[in-house]
Structure 1
Amino acid sequence: MNMKTIYYFSGTGNTLYLAKFLKDNCSYNLVDIAEVLDKNIKIEGEVGFLFPIYAMGIPKLVEKFIKNIEIGDAKYIFAIATCGGSGYGIPFQQINNILKNKSTKLNYSEYCHMPDNYLKLFKPLSESDAKIDLEKSSSKMKLISKNISNQQNSYNKSHIILYPIFLLIYKFWRLGLKRTHKSFEVSKEKCITCKICEKVCPVDNIKLENKIPSWQNSCEECLACVNLCPTIAISCGKKSKHNMRYKNPYILVTELIKQKSGS
């Protein structure tokens, strides 16, 4: 029996939305990367990595996960990056650099547009506008589904000429992550101590102190805590104080809560 597994990371539901589509149409099992970061994983059969683009590259925990996996009898490996634009960055080059040390590489890679959710720079779409935006991506999602079902070999090299610039942007972003925890603010008047921010954090970076969330220094900047707070009590940067919040309209908050070992 051929194993078919998608390992995904999703902060506000966009990547999970795509992962569930591929599960329904291509019969893949879904595994949340945040829930297996500390486990020994050997990849077998058909394997996919799904994740959002962060500063032109891969999220830090996705990099950690792929570095730690063991390559078993993996017959077909693909990666799909969700992003606010039409497709740009260096995530697939980054993944192949990691896989090269494991004597393998991606068979297929592609970008898939999803609504912007980076509150520090963009104003999120309303739920109705997000649904319209997602509908525009349906044809691309179907194409990706068809391609991986047929085990197509295709490597997306878009904007490869800009690799040095994108890499520089990514490195500056990674350096900035060390200070991100200082940017979070909580309105004590709005906070209802529901612990959703703590539960959706993919790296256990949020702890409640005197019933108010406090951030440690290992933030991934997925901003799930900001976007999914039911009372909009959390902000991160000046723009986020005035912006709406975003959650994929077809994904429940409960689906984004991380079920880690020992939790």
Structure 2
Amino acid sequence: MATQIFYFTGTGNSLHVARELQKRIPDATLVPVIGSLNNDSLKATAETVGFVFPIYLMGLPAPMVEFIERFDSTPANYLFAFATRGGTFHYADVMLAKMLKRRGKKLNAFFIATMVKNTPCGVAPKYLPGYKKMVERWPEAITNSQVKKLELPLQQKLDEVSNCIKNKSRWFDERSILRTILKRMTSMILPSAKAMKTTIPYFADSTCTSCAMCRKVCPSGKVDMGGNCPVWRKDKPCYLCFACFNSCPVQAILIRNRYEIKEGRYIHPKVSVKEIGAQKKPGEK
């Protein structure tokens, strides 16, 4: 029984999860969503299909929305999703199930795990209660000790999830009647990350070395090199993945009026920056 796992990653958390699932599931292949979006046709070739992605703006990241909207999962008889998050409320399960239903398919299982978050502030407004404390604490929240603290329960969960997938069991994490109602109401009120077209006020300071790593990892093509430093194109969307911000080897990329500090950058320790950039290439692994 073949399994395809389609993944999108910002700074490595979801790629780490996808790899760990691949280790546990026989004949599983990993397929990058970003690289696949360049194909004219997006169609499943396995009976079991999974989607692994981070939670952005409480829902699916923009490239995942585009992928699902185009994806033909007709050959699959079991669809699952595994989402990573920084511990926030989400409605990604309801959102994904609704999108698949419109395409005549059913989401059979949804799993979620809390991991180290990859942004000091996200898109939260500065006037949000607790904003200053959240930003100040971020460098302490992304240390290797914090990663290890979350890794043990993650590995235990992955063992349970892989058994669930191999048995094609129906399962939804954090599912209750009240929670589902709240999620459905939220999904009707809030637009998706793709629809919001939010951007982050990045800029590069004078320590930029023109290495172009930010351009190499940017999944949407928004980052370009304008002379000796990066520029963020207005004609390309920002996927809110913070890959450019976290991948800069000299921490030259800052967030204007929000995080202009050269302290605290996060890439999952078991994933390289090069591997994050490689998701832009098509093909199975």
TM-score over 0.5 (shorter chain)? yes
Query: For residues 48 and 74 of structure 1, do their structure 2 counterparts lie closer, same or farther at Cα, with a shift above 3 Å needed?
Result: same
- Deviation digits for residues 112-156 of structure 1, max 9, x if unmatched? 121111222551411232222222322112211221122111234
- TM-score for both structures, normalised by structure 1: 0.89
- The AA in structure 2 aligned to 1:240 is Y
* CA RMSD across the alignment: 2.2
Is 1:184 the counterpart of 2:186 in the alignment? no
Question: Counterpart in 1 of 2:121?
Answer: 120
Unaligned runs of 5+ in 1: none
Query: For residues 252 and 98 of structure 1, do their structure 2 counterparts lie closer, same or farther at Cα, with a shift above 3 Å needed?
Result: same
Contact map agreement 2:33 2:279 (CA 8 A) in 1? no
State the secondary structure of the residue aligned to 2:245. Answer: helix
- TM-score for both structures, normalised by structure 2: 0.83
Question: Counterpart in 2 of 1:152?
Answer: 169
Q: 1:164, CA displacement in angstroms?
A: 5.3
Unaligned runs of 5+ in 2: 123-133
Contact map agreement 1:96 1:105 (CA 8 A) in 2? yes
Contact map agreement 2:12 2:271 (CA 8 A) in 1? yes
Contact map agreement 1:5 1:31 (CA 8 A) in 2? yes
Corresponding residue to 1:235 among 243, 250, 254: 254
2:193 and 2:5 map into 1 onto residues whose CA distance is 27
Question: Counterpart in 1 of 2:99?
Answer: 98
Query: For residues 222 and 259 of structure 1, do their structure 2 counterparts lie closer, same or farther at Cα, with a shift above 3 Å needed?
Result: closer
Contact map agreement 1:115 1:125 (CA 8 A) in 2? yes
Is 1:246 the counterpart of 2:266 in the alignment? yes
- Deviation digits for residues 85-116 of structure 1, max 9, x if unmatched? 1x731112111211112211111111112111
State the secondary structure of the residue aligned to 2:197. Answer: helix
Is 1:32 the counterpart of 2:50 in the alignment? no
State the secondary structure of the residue aligned to 1:258. Answer: helix
Q: 1:175, CA displacement in angstroms?
A: 6.1
Aligned pair count reads 257
Query: For residues 72 and 8 of structure 1, do their structure 2 counterparts lie closer, same or farther at Cα, with a shift above 3 Å needed?
Result: same
2:31 and 2:62 map into 1 onto residues whose CA distance is 17
Query: For residues 175 and 31 of structure 1, do their structure 2 counterparts lie closer, same or farther at Cα, with a shift above 3 Å needed?
Result: closer
Query: For residues 245 and 168 of structure 1, do their structure 2 counterparts lie closer, same or farther at Cα, with a shift above 3 Å needed?
Result: farther
1:238 and 1:173 map into 2 onto residues whose CA distance is 22
Query: For residues 126 and 151 of structure 1, do their structure 2 counterparts lie closer, same or farther at Cα, with a shift above 3 Å needed?
Result: same
Q: 1:53, CA displacement in angstroms?
A: 0.5
Q: Which moved more, 1:134-143 or 1:22-31?
A: 134-143
